[in-house]
């Protein structure tokens, strides 16, 4: 059942909550527009104070504002692509609820901007090993569709997060070679079924099939708003596995339950929001305080590597200036080191090559994907270079616990304990460096 809006007069915007949720603009009894926000009060206020072209089509007609609060915070990168500042992001629940409400009420000015072909749907194939994808179409009887959703980028971000909990297939089954997503723990691995390992384990196909279908089913429930039912089903499955002493399965399901509860709670681990340009001065002050430095921080470079067992290894350098990505300065590296995978040596190679390019200019801060070992390698590469490079501060972010290692400090800091704007910025830097390295790695693999 879809929740109902609570309506207030348009001159009572200050009465709106600052929590995430869905909002609506109404003229009389007619809904004009539905949107979502991580901070309802600020988002609605921006419609009136910083009107975009689309707002001008209906904003003068509005006499009532409705809202529904949601719970789980989740950053929506599409927010910063709108004409209104929106550093607060959006929510998984708001994304799903917005889709339901637009589908039910068909507000005039949502429909004006997006005909049916421009809405997004999640397609889940009805196969032994279901494939999950985003599409504009929704007419194939062999596919289950969930939607419509308004923002493709927000939907993609949601799927990427939920894929950590419920790995799903995007590869070709029976290929015999593990796909990159399997290596990352994001795919059940039907691609392994043509391998020698599958021949040695006759029950492997059935196990992967069950996991694939189970994950697709749970993913569909979440996207349709059935998070409580999905959690109940998982807990029931865990108890059943424990009763028959299948403790390995019980532990796996337990971990999924914990991960899903964290995703659907106010977990800051999922936030990847850009700071507003106007907030950079405040963010910079926090960075200086955490790093114990006095010099200006404007340009930040982030680095990551991508490889499968050392093959086709790539590296990335992404640049943020005043908290905003600047793709004109991005650089990619084809790793020259051969043999067994060695992320530490690869980071050292990338930085050594980067420091040879004085024409690129110098950063104020460097972020490395990794822990203490990667930080040490970065310091070694830096200390071999000229004096100007030695003065650049280096930090490293370890994935497992999201610990931030800071050059010159013995004890790492848990990222979740840092101020929100720093937390958001570092995660966005890390994720963007990873995305850029991975995209180049895929291109190299396609050539072979």
- The residue among 408 and 251 whose pLDDT is bigger is 408
- The 3-state DSSP class for residue 403 equals strand
The radius of gyration computed from the CA coordinates of the chain, to the nearest angstrom, equals 24
Query: CA 431 to CA 369: how far, in whole Å?
Result: 9
Is the confidence at residue 46, as pLDDT, over 80? yes
Q: Is residue 12 located within the same domain as residue 140?
A: no
Same domain, 440 and 348: yes
More confident residue, 227 or 45: 45
CATH code for the domain in which residue 398 is found: 3.30.420.340
Q: What's the pLDDT tens digit per position in 116-143?
A: 445 678 888 988 889 988 887 777 888 8
pLDDT, the chain, mean: 78
More confident residue, 29 or 318: 318
**Domain shared by 295 and 406, yes or no:** yes
**Of 112, 145, 175, which closes a domain?**
112
115 pLDDT tier (thresholds 50, 70, 90): very low
For residue 200, what pLDDT band results from cuts at 50, 70 and 90? low
Contact 369, 303 (CB under 8 A): yes
50, pLDDT greater than 90: no
Q: Among 417, 333, 407, 339, which Cα is nearest to 372's?
A: 407
The pair of structure tokens assigned to 160 is: 């990427």
List pLDDT tens digits, range 324-363.
888 888 998 888 876 666 788 888 999 999 988 887 888 9
In order of 170, 171, 172, 195, 202, the CA distances from 176 in angstroms are 15, 11, 9, 4, 15
- The residue segments making up the domain with residue 133 are 114-225
Evaluate if residue 153 carries a pLDDT over 50.
yes
Answer yes or no: do 140 and 241 share one domain. Answer: no
Asked if the structure places residue 373 within a domain, the reply is: yes
Three-state secondary structure of 267-288 = CHHHCCCCCCHHHHHHHHHHHH
Provide the pLDDT confidence category of residue 186 given band limits of 50, 70 and 90: confident
38 and 66 inside one domain: yes
- Note whether 105 and 130 are same-domain residues: no
N-terminal to C-terminal alpha carbon distance within the chain: 51
Residues 331 and 440 in one domain: yes
Number of structural domains the chain divides into? 4
pLDDT score of 79 more than 50: no
* CB neighbour list of residue 68: distance below 8 Å, 6 or more residues apart: 3, 4, 5, 6, 21, 22, 23, 97
Are 361 and 403 within one domain? yes
Q: How far apart are CA 210 and CA 250, in angstroms?
A: 15
pLDDT score for 340: 64
Is residue 84 very low, low, confident or very high in pLDDT (cuts 50, 70, 90)? Answer: very low
- 272 in a domain, yes or no? no
Same domain, 97 and 242: no
Are 52 and 180 part of one and the same domain? no
Amino acid 11: pLDDT: 87
37 belongs to a structural domain: yes
Please count the other Cβ atoms lying within 10 Å of the Cβ belonging to residue 249.
Answer: 17
Q: Do 395 and 306 sit in the same domain of this protein?
A: yes
Is this prediction's pTM over 0.75?
no
- What confidence score (pLDDT) does residue 25 get? 92
Residue 86 is assigned to a structural domain of this protein: yes
Whether 171 and 72 share a structural domain: no
């Amino acid at each position: 059942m879809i929740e109902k809006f609570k309506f207030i007069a348009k001159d009572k915007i200050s009465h709106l909550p600052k929590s995430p949720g869905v909002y609506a603009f109404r003229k009389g009894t007619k809904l004009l527009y539905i949107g979502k926000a991580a901070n309802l009060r600020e988002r609605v206020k921006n419609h009136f104070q910083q009107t975009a072209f689309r707002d001008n089509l209906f904003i003068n007609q509005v006499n009532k504002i409705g809202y529904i609060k949601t719970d789980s915070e989740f950053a929506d990168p599409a927010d910063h692509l709108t004409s209104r500042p929106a550093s607060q992001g959006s929510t998984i629940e708001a994304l799903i609820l917005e889709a339901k409400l637009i589908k039910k009420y068909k507000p005039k000015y949502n429909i004006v901007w997006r005909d049916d072909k421009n809405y997004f749907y999640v397609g889940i194939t009805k196969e032994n090993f279901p494939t999950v994808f985003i599409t504009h179409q929704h007419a194939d009887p062999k596919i289950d569709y969930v939607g419509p959703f308004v923002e493709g980028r927000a939907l993609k971000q949601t799927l990427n997060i939920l894929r950590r909990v419920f790995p799903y297939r995007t590869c070709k089954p029976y290929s015999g070679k593990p796909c990159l997503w399997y290596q990352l723990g994001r795919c059940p691995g039907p691609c392994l079924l043509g391998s020698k390992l599958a021949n040695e384990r006759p029950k492997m196909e059935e196990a992967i099939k069950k996991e694939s279908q189970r994950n697709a089913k749970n993913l569909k429930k979440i996207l349709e708003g059935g998070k409580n039912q999905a959690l109940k089903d998982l807990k029931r499955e865990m108890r059943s596995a424990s009763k028959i002493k299948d403790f390995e399965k019980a532990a796996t399901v337990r971990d999924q339950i914990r991960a899903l509860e964290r995703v659907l709670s106010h977990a800051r681990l999922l936030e990847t929001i850009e700071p507003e340009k106007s907030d950079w001065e405040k963010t910079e002050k926090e960075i200086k305080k955490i790093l114990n430095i006095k010099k200006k921080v404007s340009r930040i470079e982030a680095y990551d590597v991508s490889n499968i067992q050392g093959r086709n290894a790539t590296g990335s350098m992404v640049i943020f200036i005043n908290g905003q990505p600047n793709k004109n300065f991005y650089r990619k590296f084809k790793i020259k080191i051969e043999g067994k995978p060695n992320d530490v040596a690869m980071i050292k190679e990338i930085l050594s090559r980067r420091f040879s390019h004085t024409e690129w200019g110098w950063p104020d801060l460097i972020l490395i994907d990794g822990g203490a070992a990667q930080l040490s390698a970065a310091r070694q590469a830096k200390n071999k270079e000229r004096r100007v490079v030695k003065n650049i501060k280096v930090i490293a972010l370890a994935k497992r616990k999201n610990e931030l290692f800071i050059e010159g400090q013995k004890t790492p800091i848990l990222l979740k304990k840092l101020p929100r704007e720093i937390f958001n910025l570092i995660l966005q830097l890390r994720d963007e460096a990873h995305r850029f390295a991975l995209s180049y790695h895929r291109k190299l693999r396609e050539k072979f």
